């Protein structure tokens, strides 16, 4: 009877070793691919007042990328202000609410774009940015501020 607990302990030891090895292999794979949108937002919600500042970045991309931005408010309008730049290539940036395209412009190296508009929020209480590169683009950066109105 003493062999069964020893075998169980040895099996648990091997399982722990394989689990740790699998975790060590999986950790490097957790990095986002270069075409992934990185979104970092901060702000406050106080009653019906919502205000957020966001930084958006895409390292490299050759297909359309969307950013969905929720507005935690009962209000149906949002003031959106932002500055956009790209290091290489050209990108068409468009802002969409419930009534369609609220703004659209093209950014390129040395040709930043900006936005300052009020739009109606979509049914999910948010809005969407669309980034459409002409070929391959890299180094897209955006600084946004939005607030419910």
The answer to whether residues 81 and 146 touch, using CB atoms and an 8 Å cutoff, is yes
> Which pLDDT score is estimated for 10?
60
Are 71 and 132 members of one domain? yes
What is the reported pTM? Answer: 0.76
Are 15 and 61 members of one domain? no
Residue 32: pLDDT band (50, 70, 90) is confident
Are 41 and 101 members of one domain? yes
Are 16 and 88 members of one domain? no
Residue ranges with strand state E in the chain: 37-46, 49-61, 65-70, 77-85, 91-97, 100-107, 113-120, 126-133, 137-148
Answer whether residue 59 shows pLDDT above 80.
yes
Are 27 and 41 members of one domain? no
Are 143 and 105 members of one domain? yes
Are 43 and 63 members of one domain? yes
- Residue 145 makes CB contacts below 8 A (sequence gap 6+) with 51, 52, 53, 54, 80, 81, 82
> Which pLDDT score is estimated for 112?
97
Are 68 and 9 members of one domain? no
The answer to whether residues 93 and 128 touch, using CB atoms and an 8 Å cutoff, is no
* Domain around 16: 1-31
Are 41 and 27 members of one domain? no
Residue, of 8 and 83, whose pLDDT is higher: 83
Are 57 and 11 members of one domain? no
What percent of the chain has pLDDT above 90?
Answer: 62
Average pLDDT, the chain: 85
Are 4 and 73 members of one domain? no
Ramachandran quadrant class, 110 (left: phi over 0; alpha: psi -120 to 50; beta: rest):
left
Are 5 and 48 members of one domain? no
| CATH number for the domain harbouring residue 93 | 2.60.120
Domain total of the chain: 2
């Amino acid at each position: 009877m003493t062999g069964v607990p020893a075998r169980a302990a040895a099996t648990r030891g091997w399982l722990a070793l394989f689990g740790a090895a699998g975790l060590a292999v999986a950790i490097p794979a957790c990095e986002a691919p270069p075409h992934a949108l990185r979104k970092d937002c901060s702000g406050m919600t106080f009653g019906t007042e919502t205000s957020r500042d966001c930084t958006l970045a895409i390292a490299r991309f050759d297909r359309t990328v969307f950013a969905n931005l929720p507005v935690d408010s009962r209000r149906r309008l949002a003031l959106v202000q932002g500055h956009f730049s790209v290091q290489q290539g050209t990108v068409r940036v468009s802002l969409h609410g419930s009534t369609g395209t609220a703004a659209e412009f093209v950014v390129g190296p040395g040709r930043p774009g900006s936005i300052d508009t009020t739009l109606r929020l979509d049914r999910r209480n948010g809005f969407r940015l669309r980034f459409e590169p002409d070929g391959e683009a890299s180094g897209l950066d955006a600084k946004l501020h939005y607030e419910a109105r």
